[in-house]
Amino acid sequence: MWLEAGGAAGAAAFAAWAVRGRSSSVFAPSVHRGVADRRSVALTFDDGPSESTPLLLDLLDRFGARATFFQIGQNAERLPSIAREISRRGHEVGNHTYSHPMALFPGIGAEISRCQSVLAGIHGQVPRLFRAPYGVRWFGLRKAQRRHGLLGVMWTAIGLDWKLPPDRVVNRLMSGVAPGSILCLHDGRELTVQPGVSVTLRSAEELLRRLRDSGYHFETVSEILCPMNSRGA
């Protein structure tokens, strides 16, 4: 009996890791950190754009930091000029589905395709990175990513900036910092109109300051995945 119970528990643990594990590529190719050959991190922001995204862009400009924004197609349609400003300022844009569904099945292919179309129309280029809502991967995702040439991106550390105060958000992220880390924050709150993201803004400012003072540089996800020698440096 205990062997059966242990086997069931092991199977459940594997299933949970396959669906939400940072390093899992069971359902589709995915990365959660970049190369560690230089002192750089990648800041990523999910769920935008929102009405507060321009404040975040100004903050990133102050620190000379480039980041990667995983945009929800429906939010980008609602705020196309703000969405476009992100790429205009030199940041990278990725696909975060069209409507940020809780469950990715059975319509994951349509969600990704519609978001790709929206973002390509706004930014003039097709995203090559994808982040699943809630970090949940499932059957059908591999086919959808392959169809659009997308690489899944998880994170090394996530700030939980939608529910924690700024000091705890920053401490969570700093505890996961190392060369090549991919850090996750949010410049929107799913499909909420005019979301309150003051915690994100305050956390991002303190995080940028600490990382800069610790000698870190800021790269996009695509950049941080590439070894230094492949970038011609």
Q: In this predicted structure, what is the pLDDT of residue 103?
A: 64
Q: Is the pLDDT of residue 150 over 80?
A: yes
Q: Is the pLDDT of residue 138 over 50?
A: yes
Please give the distance of CA 191 from its chain centroid, rounded to a whole number.
16
Q: Which domain holds residue 100?
A: 16-231
Q: Is the pLDDT of residue 27 over 80?
A: no
Q: In this predicted structure, what is the pLDDT of residue 26?
A: 73
Average pLDDT over residues 145-149: 96
Residue positions counted in the chain: 233
Known catalytic membership, residue 32: no
Residue 117 lies in a domain: yes
Residue 40 lies in a domain: yes
Q: Is the pLDDT of residue 1 over 60?
A: no
**Hey, CA dihedral for 136, 50, 72, 221, is it positive or negative?**
negative
The more confidently predicted of residues 173 and 136 is: 173
Residue pair 221/96 in contact by the 8 Å Cβ criterion = no
Residue 159 lies in a domain: yes
Q: Binning pLDDT at 50, 70 and 90, where does residue 105 land?
A: low
Known catalytic membership, residue 186: yes
Q: Give the C-alpha separation, 180 to 35, whole Å.
A: 5
Q: Give the C-alpha separation, 205 to 224, whole Å.
A: 21
Q: Could you say which of 96, 123, 186, 187 is catalytic?
A: 186
Residue pair 27/217 in contact by the 8 Å Cβ criterion = no
Query: The domain that contains 58 carries what CATH number?
Result: 3.20.20.370
In whole numbers, what is the pLDDT of the chain averaged over residues?
91
**Hey, CA dihedral for 70, 76, 79, 81, is it positive or negative?**
positive
Residue 7 lies in a domain: no
Q: Give the C-alpha separation, 43 to 222, whole Å.
A: 11
Residue 103 lies in a domain: yes
Average pLDDT over residues 152-167: 97
Q: In this predicted structure, what is the pLDDT of residue 135?
A: 77
Residue 30 lies in a domain: yes
Q: Binning pLDDT at 50, 70 and 90, where does residue 231 land?
A: low
Q: Give the C-alpha separation, 114 to 159, whole Å.
A: 28
Q: Is the pLDDT of residue 230 over 60?
A: yes
Residue 9 lies in a domain: no
Q: What percent of the chain has pLDDT over 70?
A: 88
Q: In this predicted structure, what is the pLDDT of residue 218?
A: 98
User: In this structure, what are the phi and psi dihedrals at residue 41, rounded to the nearest 5 degrees?
Assistant: -135, 160
Q: In this predicted structure, what is the pLDDT of residue 118?
A: 98
Average pLDDT over residues 94-103: 91
**DSSP line for 121-167:** HHHSS---EE--GGG---TTHHHHHHHHT-EEE--SEE--TTTS-HH
Q: Is the pLDDT of residue 75 over 70?
A: yes
Q: Is the pLDDT of residue 49 over 70?
A: yes
Q: In this predicted structure, what is the pLDDT of residue 2?
A: 47
Q: Could you say which of 46, 47, 161, 187 is catalytic?
A: 46
Question: What Rg, from alpha-carbon coordinates, does the chain have?
Answer: 18
Q: What is the tally of structural domains in the chain?
A: 1
Residue 11 lies in a domain: no
